[in-house]
Amino acid sequence: MTDHFRLTMAQLNPTLGDLAGNAARARDAWAQGRDAGADLVALPEMFVTGYQTQDLVMKPAFHLAAMAQIETLAADCADGPMLAIGGPWAEGGRLYNAYHILRGGRVIARALKHELPNYNVFDELRHFSSGPLGGPFDAGALRIGTPICEDAWFPDVSETLAESGAQMLLVANGSPYFREKFAIRMNQMVARVTETGLPLVYLNMVGGQDDQVFDGGSFVLNRGGHLAVQLPVFEEAVAHVDFTRGPQGWEAATGLRAVAPPTIEQDYRAMVVSLRDYFAKTGFSRALLGLSGGIDSALVATIAADALGPGNVRCVMLPSRHTSRASLEDAAAVARALGCALDEVSIGGPQEAVEAALAPLFAGRAADLTEENIQSRLRGLLLMAQSNKFGEMLLTTGNKSEVAVGYATIYGDMAGGYNPIKDLYKTRVFATCRWRNEVHRDWMRAPAGVVIAPRVIEKPPSAELRPDQRDDDSLPPYDILDGILEMLVDGDASVAQCVAAGYDRAVVKKVEHLVYISEYKRFQSAPGTRLTKRAFWLDRRYPLVNRWRDNGEAGPAPASGA
């Protein structure tokens, strides 16, 4: 029996629903492994379909076509190394999240996911049946156990595989990014290695899918939790890992050990990757956005330019009678620094026409929020018209603080197809702009240096919908607002807990009220990059109609860590 085994890890980016394209990527990875003398080429969870499929996987025509692709792959990859790939499996009237092992022209083994996640963005109990605890498959030189993603977070699955004779654990994942998640994954996998005494391969996919970003960061652990291989985050990689049998069992040779960048860089790259892939996978290549001269639109323009290239990003300034000269100058400076085109379309004429049309109905009523929202909706109309005419996807630019409290106009500045900063609080927007001005990486397609002028970052935020307007006329200062929102939204804290943390009760109650009454706006908002465990959409699902408010009747509840 041989004492050597070569595994090819394919940390790749599938496109959801592109069954033939994903299978072609799997064949290419298999060919690379074959040429490198691999014994097994492994791809991530549900790779043949892309992940997450949501209800699409329940459509018989879809999952049967995916199963047929795997059979075709087996035939195509008959002469060479084994191929392991994730995909659905239907049997006995049930549908499973499965991991298929292909060798010699057929599927020789199939693991069925046992632990189905049903929290945060996951809803697998809706889509799949739980498979039985299984055993390892025979890989020739050794026996390999294959926990599928969530399975590896529960000791019993890995322990059962070890007790059944597994000599290595290969964990196929579709694990999406949220801030600081890598350390959580690593701690869990070290625990599995410690419990079983087996080396472990953690293989994750990369790329964006709707709001989620799969960040890769695949790794290999030897006994004792010692890191042998660490692949980069957010990048595709095909790596060949050599295992040798020693007196204590199998051990991986030390290979690439990439260092993960700091959190602020990971967040920024997640926004770039998600925007890039949302465009590429929906067939768009060019972006459009309203550039106001403010910090939020400046950051979105920078993210878009880094993702798509400055030549594929067009900015439009839409001034009104309330737009300051400084805002016009700041917008022009940002577009110029990025190398993006900038057009100007005044809303003055349309605004006068709409106000004149409504004047008979509004006679005797003072100007108020209505007139402010007309301006925002006119901008949305003019931008969407350009999007339609030129085939550019319109980006929205509201940060998480604004999205949380509804400080945005539905059918106005909320109009658009994607929002990369939707899960980024305003205080983090400031920090991210300063970071991007100081840092440039080779994956950024916009120029290096100061692309967001300091004046844009430092001036008081304003929607400029009335004379001398400032955001803090309507909202608490952003450091206070974000602190409260992080407790109420991200931590599910009670009002009493916010007060105990030092926030004024009246301010907390105002913020709570704004969060609840804005649910209908978020329901109709554009998707955006998920950066936290409590992003708006699948992570946090609240009713649109809700009369409940936290008045402390039941006492303060513990903050959720979920």
pLDDT tens for 131-157 read 999 899 999 999 999 999 999 999 999
Q: Are 2 and 37 in contact (CB under 8 A)?
A: no
- Identify the helix (H) or strand (E) that includes residue 362: helix 348-362
Q: Catalytic residue positions? A: 45, 113, 149
In the chain, CATH 3.40.50.620 covers: 264-470
Helices marked H in 36-92: 60-76
- Tokens for 495, please give them: 């009002």
Return the axis-axis angle of helices 263-282 and 295-308, rounded to nearest 10°: 60
Q: What is the share, in percent, of the chain residues with pLDDT greater than 70?
A: 98
pTM for this model (two decimals): 0.94
Q: What is the pLDDT of residue 475?
A: 87
Phi, psi (5° rounding) for residue 341? Answer: -70, 145
Let me know how many helices (H) and strands (E) the chain has, helices first: 17, 19
Is 197 exposed, middle or buried (CB count within 10 Å of its CB: 0-12, 13-18, 19+)? exposed
What value, to the nearest 5°, has the Cα angle with vertex 219 and ends 215 and 225? 130
Homologous superfamily (CATH) for 264-470: HUPs (3.40.50.620)
Q: What is the pLDDT of residues 264-313, one digit of tens each?
A: 999 999 999 999 999 999 999 999 999 999 999 999 999 999 999 999 99
Lowest mean pLDDT among 219-223, 251-255, 541-545: 541-545
Nearest to 198 by CA among 220, 231, 183: 220
Amino acid code (one letter) for 436: R
pLDDT band of residue 533 (cuts 50, 70, 90) is very high
**What is the CATH code for 4-260?**
3.60.110.10
Residue 298 in 3-state DSSP?
helix
Distance from C-alpha of 276 to C-alpha of 404, rounded to nearest angstrom: 25
Distance from C-alpha of 334 to C-alpha of 316, rounded to nearest angstrom: 12
- CB atoms under 10 Å from CB of 13, counted, come to 23
DSSP letter at 536 equals B
As a whole number of Å, the end-to-end CA separation of the chain is: 47
Residue 317 in 3-state DSSP?
strand
Q: Are 445 and 309 in contact (CB under 8 A)?
A: yes
Q: What is the share, in percent, of the chain residues with pLDDT greater than 90?
A: 90
Q: Are 383 and 376 in contact (CB under 8 A)?
A: no
In the chain, CATH 3.60.110.10 covers: 4-260
